[in-house]
Amino acid sequence: MGRHPIVVVDIKEFGRRPDGAQKQLRKRLYRVMWNALDAAGIVREDVHPPQDRGDGAFWILPTWVSPAELTGPLVRQLHRELQQDADSDPEGAMRVRVALHIGKVSKDSNGWVGTDLNTACRLVDADELRRVLELGARPLMALILSRQWREEVRHRHIEGLDLKSGWPVRIAVKEVADTAWIHLPGHEDLTVRLWRIQKRWEELLALEEQVRTRRDEIAERLTSVPDMPDPPPELRRGRDLLPLWELVELDAEVFQQATERWWKRITKLGRRVEKMKAERDELRKTIEAFQARQNQSGLAEDLHLSAAYRRARDLLWHAPCDLPRAKAAVDDYIQEIWRKLHHDLNAGGRA
């Protein structure tokens, strides 16, 4: 049994329309899909009738249909048909989610059945794809390619669809757990841009968590460690929108700039707290080195120096360490040692 290309199409907000509008939408859906298949060279007589899904339908194509040859003409013509449909009726524009998958299915007296058909339907219903069309009116079509479909086409030039613009997403719904690629035909530049924003945002979240964890660890050892600042409003707004594609139309540039500023600020904070810890560690080494020098210089029994050493050491090893006070105590201890050594040197010279 060969593998069939599977095309699943759902109409956005179909159930919210009155019955009359639903009937018209379904009629328009079949029209634009058949026109798109015709443009891809698919003869209607070779295709089993589509199976209705209520708010959409799916087409099971013959096994001899090549995804590499089908994808470009199908997507290009479908986008063109949707655009023409929207131009003729802007208020009632039909916006669709499309899933392309390839796999094994079988047919019985009740219709088509198979795990791969289930997968295709899960893809078109995926939240990640739904969110693409939840806001704004620019994209008329959101396309998702299964991993298997993309494997069939990724080494080919697909006219009308820039495969590099695909946004990889992890789909985990019911029995499906796999990677798929989302495209916005006709808006590939937006797709690429948002994919980059999303990747940078994920990196920023990882950095923020790393710095916060490290900052909290150091705050248990040192006082005066700066708090994690609150993100700026434009960053919070963009964060609430991700991964909604409307962000690209609203303020992607503002969000990108805010992300980079926040990245620099968090990085600076991370360096600052690490510098504070390094300073404390260096003070610990310094005080131990001078304590050894005190002993080597015959000043081990000097009660005043010993008290100064203990005071500085207690501050450095006490958690959380008050770094400014500890540094001042270490400086006092070192100055006292130099004063004692200078005094003893002068006394020895006079003798």
* Residue 327 sits in the same domain as residue 230: yes
The domain boundary residue, chosen from 162, 186, 210: 186
152 and 25 together in one domain: yes
- The pLDDT of 276-283, averaged and rounded, is 95
Torsion of CA 103, 104, 107, 112, to 10 degrees: -40
Q: What is the pLDDT of residue 159?
A: 79
101 and 207, same domain (yes or no): no
Regarding whether 270 and 176 lie in a shared domain, the answer is no
Q: Give pLDDT tens digits for 190-233.
A: 666 666 677 777 788 889 999 999 999 999 999 999 999 888 77
**Which pLDDT score, from 0 to 100, does residue 345 have?**
64
Query: Do residues 176 and 287 both lie within one domain?
Result: no
Claim to verify: residue 229 and residue 290 sit in the same structural domain: yes
User: Which of the four pLDDT bands, split at 50, 70 and 90, describes residue 241?
Assistant: low
Is there a single domain that holds both residue 268 and residue 238? yes
Among candidate residues 139, 166, 186, the one where a domain is terminated: 186
HEC string for the chain: CCCEEEEEEEECCHHHCCHHHHHHHHHHHHHHHHHHHHHCCCCHHHCCCCEECCCEEEEECCCCCCHHHHHHHHHHHHHHHHHHHHHHCCCCCCCEEEEEEEECCEEECCEEECHHHHHHHHHHHCHHHHHHHCCCCCCCEEEEEEHHHHHHHCCCCCCCCCHHHCEEEEEEECCEEEEEEEECCCCHHHHHHHHHHHHHHHHHHHHHHHHHHHHHHHHCCECCCCCCCCCCHHHHHHHHHCCCCHHHHHHHHHHHHHHHHHHHHHHHHHHHHHHHHHHHHHHHHHHHHHHHHHHHCCCCCCHHHHHHHHHHHHHHHCCCECHHHHHHHHHHHHHHHHHHHHHHHHHHHHC
What's the pTM?
0.61
Distance CA 320, CA 73 (A): 67
Question: Strand 96-103 relative to strand 141-146: parallel, antiparallel, unpaired?
Answer: parallel
Looking at the predicted structure, is the pLDDT value of residue 162 above 60? Answer: yes
Same domain, yes or no: 172 and 208: no
Are 269 and 218 contained in the same domain?
A: yes
Structure tokens at 83: 């655009």
Q: 275 — alpha (psi -120 to 50), left (phi > 0) or beta?
A: alpha
**Same domain, residue pair 32 and 8:** yes
For residue 233, the enclosing domain spans 188-351
Q: Which domain CATH number covers 149?
A: 3.30.70.1230
Considering only residues 124 and 1, tell me which one the structure prediction assigns the higher pLDDT. 124
One-letter identity of residue 147: R
List of residues 6+ apart from 97 with CB closer than 8 A:
9, 10, 12, 56, 124, 129, 130, 132, 133, 141, 142, 143, 144
Q: What is the total count of domains within the chain?
A: 2
State how far the Cα of 48 lies from the Cα of 69, in Å rounded to an integer: 19
Q: For the segment 3-41, what is each residue's pLDDT rounded down to a tens digit?
A: 999 999 998 877 777 788 788 888 888 999 999 999 999
User: Domain check: are 221 and 132 in the same one?
Assistant: no
Residues 166, 265, single domain; the answer is no
pLDDT for the residue numbered 351: 47
| pLDDT for residue 106 is more than 70 | yes
pLDDT bin (cut points 50, 70, 90) of residue 342 is confident
